[in-house]
Structure 1
Amino acid sequence: MFLKQTLSERDICTKFITPALVAAGWDIQKQVREEWSFTDGRIIVRGQKYSRGKQKRADYVLFYKSTLLAIIEAKENNHSIGAGMQQAKEYADILDVHFVYSTNGDAFLEFDKTKTGGEVEKEISLESFPSPEELWERYATFKNLTPPQQEIVKEENHKDETDLAPRYYQQIAINRTIEAVARGDKRILLVMATGTGKTYTAFQILWRLWKAKTVKRVLYLADRNILVDQTKTGDFRPFGSDIMTKIQNREVDKSYQIYFALYQGLTGTDEEKNVFKQFSRDFFDMVVVDECHRGSANEESAWREVLSYFDSAVHLGMTATPKETKETSNITYFGEPVYTYSLKQGIEDGFLAPYKVVRISLNVDDGYRPEKGKVDKHGHEVEDRIYNTKDFDRTIVIDDRTKVAARKISEYLKLTNRMAKTIVFCVDTEHAERMRQALVNENSDMLKQYPNYVVRITGDDEIGKKELYNFSSVIEKQPVIATTSKLLTTGVDTKMVKVIALEAGIQSMTEFKQIIGRGTRLREDDGKVYFTIMDFRKVTNLFADPDFDGDPVVIYEPGPDEPVVPPTPPEGTGGTDDPPGTKPIPGEKVDGVDGGDGPDGNGPGGDPSNKPKKYYINDVAVTVANERVQYYGADGKLITESLKDYSRNKLLLEYTSLDDFLIKWNESERKEAIINELAEKGVLFEELQQEIGMDMDAFDLIAHIAFDKPPLTRKERAEEVKKRNYFEKYGTGAREVLQTLLEKYADEGIGSIETTAVLNVKPLNQLGTPTELVKLFGKKADFEQAVNELELELYRIA
């Protein structure tokens, strides 16, 4: 006989909760996920290393088909029945779950979110837990789903041979979209951060609707060939090639069910070029609009004509960056998003890579004014005014500025990883070419082994575009650095990009979000866990804008009698980064002012008075005026104050006094646990060490930064221990092990000596096997006790 109060939480689950679920009719294999870690834990970068924050883990999540219905939080029996309710509610909000339970094995406390009044929380016995059908009926009633609508929603996800299930946020997006379609909604918007699997989510939506025979024929629209091809051969592959086709060469075969098309391939200036009109208006049941923040957001766009023609179909818009301006609005067309999953949430959950920002200011950036009568290298007199970062490379080119920017990018790669995939965003295609040349000269040593180490990838460069696949590839080593202006802002799945350099004055929030999205994809197995943004134009000020990670709102919606004023068309002509066979979207700014067709950018398109399109200055010295690193904080914002002040504030939230800190430090069996916990809360130890410039232990960093105590280096602490002849009480062999551990501490820090795993690495493994070394102290517990005593000696001076 056992006492219930002595059982572990896991035993409570096994002996009481799981049997209660089985008795209520729940299929443990198909309908229940036990101990489900639904997040991966935030990536915490620590110098050249990284760790993961805590995963969010639910004790039980209950499914009906593919709908998340209930969550159960279990506690040991010495807790109250409702002790887990607060945590369960928090997780339920994240998971979009409507039925919430807490239990200690005696009974359940139920919170029913579908109730708007009365007894929303009540205690029920273990024997009274509701069946799957009862909870589903409650859910369907709350959602006002009719029996035919329920049948649509009940259709299950596609499962491949790996049995890979959608992530929690994908599942929410899938379910909400299918419920909206089942209810008869015609315009649906999904907002999901770049790298979170929008295409996979769209596939699961269409799969379930197709299997339910709600949707028979689908048109998938995009504006980049690479988006269409990636989708057809990737996530949508389970549909099978026999029912999928890509509309191209203006040829239409109406025998397929899933059609992929470029907007540009469907429309044209002449009526006969409008390929989409070869289909009847009601041919498609659903139209999926990928990256809908572009053309379809604009009411004046030719793209909108396609959507208007297939007006009877369900229109599903997908984007990471819904466009909301005076002239264009996704929300006005599609309605409020049925679900939004932000970049901030993706980083917090550990599904997206965090970033750090290196902001570099050059001496000319605050204003360059040419002396009177100044002529550029082509003999043009330079207009007398003050030029700043908005002008550089758009109206005036300072050669040395390009060279210094290229040098700083190259220096960063040399200090970190010469093979880190890097995108340099430039003002226009001509600027991208000059930057390519400057980067080639800075990395000439790498070109011997990698001829395509640096390339320009722009829409008007056929050779560069051929390298787009290799640059995006996880396997291909080169190109490493790509200069561009627009082609790589959206649509390209640049999985391994580790550096984004901003050498263009981006002002559009939509474009900025898309650019940041080029680096957010996480490839942990391939060594991509974070990325760096090098900002030469103060573009990253946009991170502080509430719109960066806020909910999209309609900026302006014209009244019924108020015409929409189309935006000003882009100035100038010249190469853009659009793929071949595409055209600028009417009403959409493509690339501002591009370089002209002359070698110096001063070809047609200049002022009739012979004023050049750009001035080129080659005799102004440019230097770095200021360089600052900003880190991604635990709150999802960049740390803008000094790292030392930021860390002091974080530490003082944890420890009220030096004594409080000393007590907690000494009581902790593993100091590394304290370090990891503080790192998760935003204290960046490795970066602090670099800023302060001393090889300090985490202990001394905390004492020095938070409590103004004079610090000791690790080597100094190790020397203090040696002076006290602390090792004399041990035998020769044990003494040598402890002295070696002390040296390892001096080199690497306290975390390196706190586990027996240290006995497997140099120089300890050169003294004997782990078993042999432990025997020098007696038993394993004796060895661990000796290490604990060594730690006490290390910090005794405090």
Structure 2
Amino acid sequence: MEFYDIEQGVCVTNTRLSGSANDYRKTLNHEGYDIGKLEGADLLDRYKELPRWPETDFEPREYQKIPISKLLQLYYDGEDHALLSLATGLGKTFVAGRFLSRILDGDPDLRILVLADQKPLIRQFEESLWAHLPKEVSTHLWYGSESPAYRAGIDIGTFQSLDNPDRFNQARAEEYDIVVVDEAHHAPADSYQRVLEKTEPDFLLGLTATPWREDDKSMEELFGPVRESLTIGVIEALRKGYLTDVDYRLYCDNIDWEHMHEVSNKDYTITDLNKNLFIEERDDEIIDEFQDVWRDSDTGRAIVYCASIDHAKRMAAAFRERGFGARPLHSGLKDRGAQRRLRSFRRGDLEILTAVNMLNEGVDIPEVDIIVFLRVTHSRRIFLQQLGRGLRLAEGKEKVTVMDLVADIRRIAEAIEIDTELEKGEEKEVLTRSFNLNFRDQQAQSFFREYLEDKAEISTYDDTEKVDFP
């Protein structure tokens, strides 16, 4: 009860509540809680009273209607695969849910398998699906020691849990009519292929916000070609106002200009160039800058991406010393602790999360209006995923402010490329500026815009690739 921070609850069982459980319920009520009970007969009566479909007021946005219709067309035309690629914040899970609801309306006995990379993703996917399912279609989680209680409805599991022939044999895998792969850019990996190769669905659907892999393995072999009607990238989404406006601030005050003269006219790997170019800033200087941005926050929610677990812990402590409600979020936390911090953050009880690769995928917190990148190395896919945590529209939110304390030249190139692509669109469309790129140091702006003008591809380089430096 204390973990969930609740005072009211209900004990639920599909049979009869045991004597000891009922006694404990009474004890809690005596202590001031309000705990009811629902037993098997009660549940059956409640089920009969329920309408077939959930009563929700969620209607597809205009840009979501086209991919929903296209997926239905492909499915009923007998196509066997498709890739839905929507930028983070555009509701790919919602689109998939609506697609499944239309199919299940006519055939509720279909067997569906949803696969994802991490346990938090399958939990969130399951909860998102409930608003789209008729009451006779059940959902079952499949991870760790938990597995579906019976074979019907929709199974939702992790690749890691199903990559086990004793738990997921060929006969079981062939039961599914539809297989949905969330964060489908992971699917070409060998371990995931072993699971997918067992399945023989009538329709395989991949969902992703970043339809490429940095190891160049093809997604088209699994999910077919990229279709324009199933694709909305971040540039198009920003240009058309599907996502919130972005105030992107590049903090390049930490460049060692004197040392630049020493390293000029040389070839450097990306890693070596970054080490030579950028001076590490002190934590207190970073928080001074953050406080200036925080004063203009609409929703009072910030994510700070850090370079390591120790870095995240140190920054959270530094923010707390300045009076902020801040906690680190990282893989070293137990699942319950991580989920509790996420819930506190969603409610607004916690203002800042200092994160290390924990909020890249599948976390939906539209209220975030400040994103901070602290000395993180660049990966194009991870950058767009992390940036996307702040791009969702939300009531009372005018924009997301991005503080990028640059530690990687590829990040500068990526930001300039987005800005340039959006400027091209503005020549054709009348709109307000959706992405404002601001260099806090004018010398840095002049230098990098000139240097990177014909080097847009540098944003995709790996750490060991060499670049010539002027």
TM norm structure 2: 0.68
Distance in 2 separating the partners of 1:403 and 1:171: 47
Which of 98, 106, 111 is 1:212 aligned to? 106
2:154 corresponds in structure 1 to 258
Distance in 1 separating the partners of 2:136 and 2:258: 58
Tell me the matched-pair count.
Answer: 365
> Offset at 1:505?
3.5
Which of 94, 105, 117 is 1:223 aligned to? 117
Which letter maps to 1:347?
L
Q: Which moved more, 1:181-190 or 1:355-364?
A: 355-364
Distance in 2 separating the partners of 1:472 and 1:240: 31
Q: Following superposition of structure 1 onto structure 2, how do residues 66-81 of structure 1 map, counting pairs within 5 Å?
A: none
Q: Say yes or no: does 1:465 pair with 2:364.
A: no
> Offset at 1:367?
8.0
Q: Deviations over 1:53-99 (max 9, x none)?
A: xxxxxxxxxxxxxxxxxxxxxxxxxxxxxxxxxxxxxxxxxxxxxxx
Which letter maps to 1:343?
V
Q: Deviations over 1:149-188 (max 9, x none)?
A: xxxxxxxxx9864565322222111111111122222221
Which letter maps to 2:159?
Y
Identify if the C-alpha distance between structure 1 residues 389 and 430 changes in structure 2 by more than 3 Å, giving closer, same or farther.
farther
Distance in 2 separating the partners of 1:426 and 1:219: 35
Contact 1:215–1:285 under 8 Å retained in 2 = no
Distance in 2 separating the partners of 1:530 and 1:439: 23
Secondary structure at the aligned position of 1:532 is classed as strand
Secondary structure at the aligned position of 2:401 is classed as strand
Contact 1:190–1:317 under 8 Å retained in 2 = yes
Distance in 1 separating the partners of 2:421 and 2:113: 30
Which letter maps to 2:398?
V
2:218 corresponds in structure 1 to 329
Contact 1:289–1:318 under 8 Å retained in 2 = yes
Distance in 2 separating the partners of 1:218 and 1:547: 41
2:402 corresponds in structure 1 to 533
1:493 corresponds in structure 2 to 364
Contact 1:472–1:492 under 8 Å retained in 2 = no
Distance in 2 separating the partners of 1:503 and 1:267: 36
Q: Deviations over 1:621-656 (max 9, x none)?
A: xxxxxxxxxxxx8465545799xxxxxxxxxxxxxx
> Offset at 1:361?
2.1
Q: Following superposition of structure 1 onto structure 2, how do residues 640-655 of structure 1 map, counting pairs within 5 Å?
A: none
Identify if the C-alpha distance between structure 1 residues 640 and 412 changes in structure 2 by more than 3 Å, giving closer, same or farther.
closer
Q: Say yes or no: does 1:421 pair with 2:301.
A: yes
Contact 1:218–1:258 under 8 Å retained in 2 = yes
Contact 2:298–2:398 under 8 Å retained in 1 = no
Structure 1 gap ranges (5+): 1-157, 370-385, 447-452, 551-632, 643-798
2:265 corresponds in structure 1 to none
Secondary structure at the aligned position of 1:478 is classed as coil
1:354 corresponds in structure 2 to 245
Q: Following superposition of structure 1 onto structure 2, how do residues 181-330 of structure 1 map, counting pairs within 5 Å?
A: 181-213=75-107, 216-237=110-131, 238-240=133-135, 243-248=138-143, 249=145, 251-268=147-164, 271-272=165-166, 275-277=167-169, 279-293=171-185, 295-298=186-189, 301-330=190-219
> Offset at 1:531?
0.5
Contact 1:367–1:388 under 8 Å retained in 2 = no
Which of 427, 430, 437 is 2:317 aligned to? 437
Contact 1:291–1:320 under 8 Å retained in 2 = yes
2:59 corresponds in structure 1 to 165
Distance in 1 separating the partners of 2:432 and 2:308: 36
Distance in 2 separating the partners of 1:521 and 1:418: 14
Identify if the C-alpha distance between structure 1 residues 161 and 257 changes in structure 2 by more than 3 Å, giving closer, same or farther.
closer
> Offset at 1:221?
1.1
Contact 1:454–1:481 under 8 Å retained in 2 = yes
Q: Say yes or no: does 1:455 pair with 2:344.
A: no
Q: Say yes or no: does 1:542 pair with 2:414.
A: yes
> Offset at 1:343?
2.7
Contact 1:509–1:548 under 8 Å retained in 2 = no
Distance in 2 separating the partners of 1:196 and 1:254: 34
Distance in 2 separating the partners of 1:261 and 1:509: 27
1:482 corresponds in structure 2 to 353
Distance in 2 separating the partners of 1:277 and 1:482: 40
Distance in 1 separating the partners of 2:339 and 2:215: 37
1:510 corresponds in structure 2 to 381
Identify if the C-alpha distance between structure 1 residues 327 and 456 changes in structure 2 by more than 3 Å, giving closer, same or farther.
same
Secondary structure at the aligned position of 1:545 is classed as helix
Distance in 1 separating the partners of 2:194 and 2:284: 46
> Offset at 1:517?
0.7
Contact 2:248–2:438 under 8 Å retained in 1 = no
> Offset at 1:306?
1.1
Distance in 1 separating the partners of 2:108 and 2:360: 35
Over aligned residue pairs, what C-alpha RMSD do you find? 3.5
Identify if the C-alpha distance between structure 1 residues 407 and 389 changes in structure 2 by more than 3 Å, giving closer, same or farther.
farther
Which letter maps to 1:266?
L
Identify if the C-alpha distance between structure 1 residues 229 and 324 changes in structure 2 by more than 3 Å, giving closer, same or farther.
closer
Percent identical: 25
2:285 corresponds in structure 1 to 404
Contact 2:329–2:338 under 8 Å retained in 1 = yes
Q: Deviations over 1:406-430 (max 9, x none)?
A: 33223321x3249621111111212
Structure 2 gap ranges (5+): 1-51, 261-269, 423-430, 441-470
Distance in 1 separating the partners of 2:421 and 2:169: 39
Larger radius of gyration: 1
Which letter maps to 1:179?
Q
Identify if the C-alpha distance between structure 1 residues 213 and 460 changes in structure 2 by more than 3 Å, giving closer, same or farther.
same
Distance in 2 separating the partners of 1:547 and 1:639: 7
Which of 324, 340, 346 is 2:231 aligned to? 340
